[in-house]
A and B are shown apart, each in its own frame.
Chain A
Amino acid sequence: MLGGMDRPAFPRRIFLKNVIAGAGAMAVGGPLRPHLLGEEEPAPPGPYAGPNVIVVRFGGGVRRRETIDPEHTYAPFLCHELTKRGTLFTNMEIDSLQGVETSHGQGTLYIISGKYDRFQDVGGKFLGQRFESKVPTIFEYLRKTFAVPAHQALIVNGEDRTDEEFYTFSNNHLFGANFRSNVLSLYRYKCYLLRQQIENGQWAGDKLEKMRRELVKLESLDYRAKPEEGQGTEIGGFWERWRQFYGDTGLVNPRGDRLLTELSLRALRELRPRLLMVNYNDPDYVHWGNMTHYTRGITVIDEGLRQLVGWVEADPEYRDNTVFVIVPDCGRDTNPLASVPCQHHFGSRSSHEIFALVFGPGIARNVVNDKRVDQISIASTIGRVMGFRAEFAEKQALDEAFA
């Protein structure tokens, strides 16, 4: 049979070579693929012309009762004022799928990645909370789609939350470190300050060695980061101005969640972020049994919201050009048998129950939506607002939010 075959249209050796090359190109993917397959290279990301987005994580774990319930709220600005300006989702939930936990790190990643996942500490540490997202975050989507520099895709973190320094980028091979966001936090300031003090020769001898070791320890918190790259010129300048204003001691600047508000306001003024996430967390202190820490924490966040909204309304570039997305990381328990019913968020029904408020240009005003929606819809919703496709997010955008 083979002896009577016609000669093939092209030599077998060339055919096999092309197959192997093509398979290799498919395996490598990414930037090499179009080159090998003769396709055109993707266009470099264009400038971003959409609205700014400020995501406020109303954390660490709050119930609807003390936030959006008008009878019991400790956040009057949010509840009585901001809800009229946009669309309030009163029935947002964190799904009860196997492995989906109701906690701060997990909730934050659900918000910014748009995907529920079971997260484990990267070092396998017992009760460790260092998680890496397997799918890109909204910051990576934004920076890959548009030419937004790192210092304009910001996360503002609290001083107790060094584990959340890991959320700047995912370990997805199509995104990752090249499209990372930047972080403003006291921890980052300490790294900057220590580096400056060492470089300025503030210490010598054993003390210098000790400080160098301290710096290495601080900067190695995120094993993926390259300390030699630093935080960037713009962030360095930001910290220098912060240092000139508040000094070196760390005792003069605002503290707790008020610090996050101050960092955010300064960042808006100096760095002009296009996407900013503020990770409030102090209500979580109720874990230790004092209910007033919870209610005071909510009020402090509410006051922060008032300042952020006030600043945005006063700035010509941000006014009428900024969408706010306010969403908790998780709920809290409502345990009628406990002395402090909302002391924890141990996966009860109530700890899955949250809310979301979206307001700004293009967002429906004074709408209350009580349809059950998912926390992971936030990522796609932000994508719709900003014009990028959150391709790995598992839920569509919240259509009801858009005017």
Chain B
Amino acid sequence: MIVTAEGPLADAPAAVTAAPRRNSRAPGRRLRRTFFFLWKFYAGVMLCLTLGGAIFVVGWTYRLVQRSVLRSWWRRSGRILRGESFVDFVHDRGSNEPRAQWPNWILGHGCRDLLARRSEFTFATFSGRLGRELFRSLWLNLRIGVQGIFNTFLLTAPAGVLMLFSWYDGWNNSFSKGYEQAVVGPLTGALGIILFIVAMLYVPLAQARQAATGEWRAFHHYRLNWRLARRQWAAGVFIAGCYSLFTIPVAAERVLPMFLPQIHPSLASLTNEQAAKVLGTYFFWGSFVLFPLYVALRLMAGRIYATALLAAVKSGAVAPDELTTWEQTELGRLGFVPDVPVVRRHPLVRVAARTSVLSMQGAAMAAAVVLWFTAIAQTYVAQFLNYLPLSGWLNQPLVQLPSVRFIPPHLK
């Protein structure tokens, strides 16, 4: 059963026969898995070519993160020592859980099971259920994607707007030599950068929690999410570094069209139609880089969240009633939610331990701030080299919508 904030998602029948287990090592199965992997990867690449398609990528990736988090907890539960596989764990629920494999882009995961059991239903019931299942994943990807991107933009868009305004106004003012207002542009830009950095100290883990729980409200549990982020200060530095590092190829992809005619002089004399085609092909291949980097960052954040929450629950730093329904259910099934209250350490011991942790957290936060600054600085460099009027500021592909494809309006 998939539990969401709105209640059970799947209309699972009262008694469900568990799907037959398959031998995952059979050659035919391996070939099939490879094929589906390639198809899912290719679909993700194609969807990154538009902002609208990128919403589906967000939703799909969130579902993938949910699976990854659950798998991470399952690994730590010790069940593997009992000979149980992750697929077994997932199938023990009594229905075909989507989290047994990578999420689909279009088809619901219950399609096969439904087809196998079609004799149990009337034609009308079967048709209705089949109709829903055919596009269930597409709907989920869209719904979760919209929720995900809405929350992300809520915290990151103000920074983008400030940076856009500061660049526009600052250079406008510089062009007209408005000395009296010279400070407005740089100050607004600095504020935008600070807001972005502050947001990014929080957003990756909040995104991961929303993805894992399937609840958009979980993104806004600021106190708990911040506590989790602080507990994983080293991982926070690591993921900031990864964002900064992964931004390099993404920024390079944005900037390279400015230099392509120097590399291939024949490109300088393209017609508008030809140029649009060349750019389309260019960004298509570029999405082969962007898509896996985006997914990798989300999975990393998911693992950090999984580790942080598990440690917090085990140590009693987070009480079970602070968790979402999904977290309580899954952690409970895996035996991580303690039945008895955890004995806390003596206050003096806690203060002593906390003091050393605080100084480490401070240093880690400073390091993370610097790394997030290097990430956003690349946006400024990219904007100088190849200016994108709106999307260059308002959409950071690895943070918000994973799409860098930009065909200049004069080519359309």
Contacts and interface: CB of A to CB of B under 8 A. Distances in A.
B175 A293 contact: yes
B181 to A, nearest CB: 12
A251 B180 contact: yes
A173 B278 CA distance: 53
Contact of A337 (B267, B271, B389): B267
Q: Which size bracket describes the interface of A in this complex?
A: 20 to 34
Contacts of B272: 336
B102 interface: no
A222 interface: no
Interface in B264-300: 265, 267-268, 270-272, 274-275, 278-279, 282
A337 to B, nearest CB: 4
A339 B386 contact: yes
Contacts of A50: none
B262 A343 contact: no
Interface string A4-22: 0000000000000000000
B267 A336 contact: yes
B39 interface: no
B268 A336 contact: yes
Interface in A326-379: 333-341, 343-344, 346-350
A256 B175 contact: yes
A326 B128 CA distance: 77
Interface residues of B, number: 38
Given A335-B258, A336-B272, A337-B257, A256 B387 contact: no
B176 A339 contact: no
Main secondary structure of the interface of B (DSSP, over half): helix
Contact of A344 (B172, B179, B258): B258
Contact of A349 (B175, B265, B410): B265
Interface in B214-233: none
B22 interface: no
B171 A338 contact: no
A285 interface: yes
A335 B264 CA distance: 12
A288 B167 contact: yes
A290 B179 contact: no
A348 B262 contact: yes
A287 interface: yes
A159 B175 CA distance: 12
A24 interface: no
Interface string B152-168: 00000000000000011
B78 interface: no
Nearest to A254: B177
Nearest to A338: B258
A339 B278 contact: no
A80 interface: no
Nearest to B267: A337
A348 B386 contact: no
A289 interface: yes
B388 interface: yes
A101 interface: no
B179 A339 contact: no
Interface in B391-411: 406, 408, 410-411
Interface in B175-201: 175-177, 179-180
Interface centre among A335, A337, A343 (most CB of B within 10 A): A337
A159 B168 contact: no
In the A-B complex, the 3 residue pairs with the closest CB atoms: A289-B387, A255-B177, A336-B275
Interface of A: 159, 250-251, 255-256, 259, 282, 285, 287-290, 293, 296-297, 333-341, 343-344, 346-350
20 contacts: A288-B167, A290-B168, A290-B171, A297-B175, A335-B258, A335-B260, A336-B268, A336-B274, A336-B411, A337-B257, A337-B258, A337-B267, A337-B279, A338-B386, A338-B408, A339-B406, A343-B258, A346-B259, A348-B262, A349-B265
